Structure 1
Amino acid sequence: MPTSIVWFKTDLRLHDNEALVKAIQQSNNIVPVYCIDDAQFGETEFGFKKTGSFRAQFLLESLADLDAQLRALKSGLVVVRGIPEEELPRIARLYNAKKVYAKKEVTTDEKKQEERVAAALWKQGCVVETFSTSTLYHAEDLPFPLRGIPDVFTTFRKKIEKEAGIRPVFDKPETIASPIISETKLPTLPDLGLTPLTPDSRGVMPFKGGETEGLQRLNHYIFGTEAIATYKETRNGLVGSDYSSKFSAWLAMGCLSARQVYHEVKKYEAENGANKSTYWMIFELLWRDYFRFMMKKHRNRLFLPSGIKNTTVKWDTPNPKVLQSWIDGKTGQDFIDANMLELKLTGFMSNRGRQNVASYFCHDLKLDWRYGAAYFEEMLIDYDASSNWGNWAYIAGVGNDPRDARRFNPQKQASDYDAKKTYRNLWLQK
């Protein structure tokens, strides 16, 4: 059996990683590789960076953790910087690799890159095999074909909960046979053209990248504090670390597996009993799956102004001053402003906050929703393309919401979820 490459992308973990497990089973030697693609640190058509400092820092921490875990198994992570369709073939030639194992992509740009890499490797006799490693339900286990996936979430949920099962996780490898891999040197934020971070003590919690931290957070939330027992009641909170799981950053970078979260929840239920909160955690994971499957079904339509509905809504290109006032938390709507300041200063915002600021952007300011989604892409530490663009299209009324538009009243929302102004006072203090 030949030497093979495992191309890590947003699956930066050893547990429940089918690409890694299959590579070990079918190869003599494994070369784990991560390519830092400069295109991911460039600017989008909307004038924002694709990756800002918060997510870049989380990525670098995740890579350092992955490398440390691999070295504990007598392997290591080869980190290269450049264009993947050039760097992966170069690494394959260097190690005489005949196969590359990788995560399967669904979004337009990533799928095109995957195809370019496969074509370049094929020219030198190296093939690519991809695996679905990101979702709770495996695409092959869905009770309908890809084109037949319902465009209404409730219809999807009811059928999938009744007719589909969730696979067990793949165990973390006990050993990995690799050639000698030199010490890994990671770039700094300035190396990537980004500004170093200054932590803000008001943030909900310090987010540190890596599988080690992700698994610790999983254990803390489910078994340490048992906060999961009241998740449904507290999930719309705004201040503090445990009003919600905060798993999203580790899920987005692939430091945590959605199936691992599911099976830990089931373990908790077996020991303590199930309730509406434990179900709601799985329900939210299912939403995450749904947006990914919608991206597979509709492809680049979720990036168009009309979304998947082909509406005739005319979105206004943002006036730069109006856009900047939204970004800087200077709209004059205190609930909107507090949330936007939290995002700007920490890279995180609650789910309640995201729905409100997106609704305000689309329905009060009446601006092209894609600019808001693109700003979130730059800023969010837990950015996931399918969930981000799917949620923004949903709020804008051009996505999967069966209603025409989902508009929130920020004054009422502030009264309902921040009645004592604890959150607004925290972020709007002079």
Structure 2
Amino acid sequence: MTTARAARRRTALRLGGVVLAGTLLAACGSGSGTSSSDTAGGKVTVTVDLFGSFGYEEAGLYAEYEKLHPNVKIKQTDTQDEADYWKSLQTRLAGGGGLADVQGVEVGRIASVTQQQADRFEDLRKYGAESLKGQFAEAKWAAATAKNGEVLALGTDVGPEAMCYRTDLFAKAGLPTDRTELSKRWSTWDGYLELGKQYKAKAPGKSAWLDSVGSLFSIMIGQEKERYYNASGELIWETNPALKTAWDTSVEASEAGLSAKLDQWSPQWNQAFSAGSFATIPCPAWMLGYIKGQAGEAGKGKWDIATLPGGSGNWGGSYLAVPKAAKNKKEAYELIKWLTAPEQQAKVFAKQGNFPSATAAITKIAGTTDPYFSDAPIGQIFGHAANTAPVQVLGVHDQNINQQITNALSEVERKGLAPQKAWENARKGVANTLG
């Protein structure tokens, strides 16, 4: 959700269709939901702790579930930044206290759960989860399955990628606004940067071409099968030519002055959506709800969506897991089973834009358009991206490595640090993170 949801989540966000309401990353919460029983009302309170907004409240799913299950009350807490959420979750998992019945897990962390923390989460097979395998995309299911076959989480969304842009700013700069024409003009990242340079020459006001080079890097590396680890689980990020290309392209965008120099998920970044501070933003499906939440009604009809330069990719997507320390495990499982069912995933996409990981839901939303984004055929655009994106190799520290690299790129664009020095800082940051 991210997510954020990418982490940045989504996150961020990590990843992420009729009217996309709400924000991907809700107001910062404590992230320390605890289970309880509402004895006065005779109801079981199932607590849900997430990073950002998975769209469940926005789509009315909690209210619908409570109506279907009168004995259940749902209480959600969330944290704006996925990195903060994950750090807090690790502290609570280590101590065994303060955990919610349901905990969200970003796709960049799922390998950590299956490879290092399986003993702290419920094996959902004991509640019948194996019968659900056929409803999810194979890669989504496999990523949450430990080597011994334990199923540790159920998939929510995936993060197929596109490019969101401001048609009003494009028009003022004399650039084409038609999504089909733009998809051809920026079929490559070189084409995208070239259009950016044309935009800069006639940019209205103080607007920049894109929000940050960190988002550019994250979206580009999301187009690759192998990013930070190879299929054997070996770290390859320092020698991966695809990562080097994404780094060099991001540095070029910075040096060309195309970035608004905004750290994603920061208050300044949030405000920039309504201020028109940038004309394009690489956007996984889950980003649509975030854009609408920040740009508000005044932004309706000013945004559109085109296909992504360089081909399809995936950035973000999440899971729902049940900690072993949860108090209401069975009720928690029943809730996440229902929330991740195709019908509910389709409803979240229709409202929030989070693209489904359930195959039946993908079929349901194929014809979805979004009036906020100039009636863009989001079901078609993101559906094609999801179907053609590579199945990514996931590693234990994917999210941590990405964060160190984007931090280093921020030093390049905001502080003018030499790219080679920033790369060395990223190397040191990764080494310290990995221990």
Tell me the TM-score range normalised by the shorter chain. under 0.3
Computing the radius of gyration from Cα coordinates, the structure with the larger value is: 1
The structure showing larger relative contact order (alpha-carbon pairs under 8 Å, at least 6 residues apart) is 2
TM-score in terms of structure 1 length: 0.25
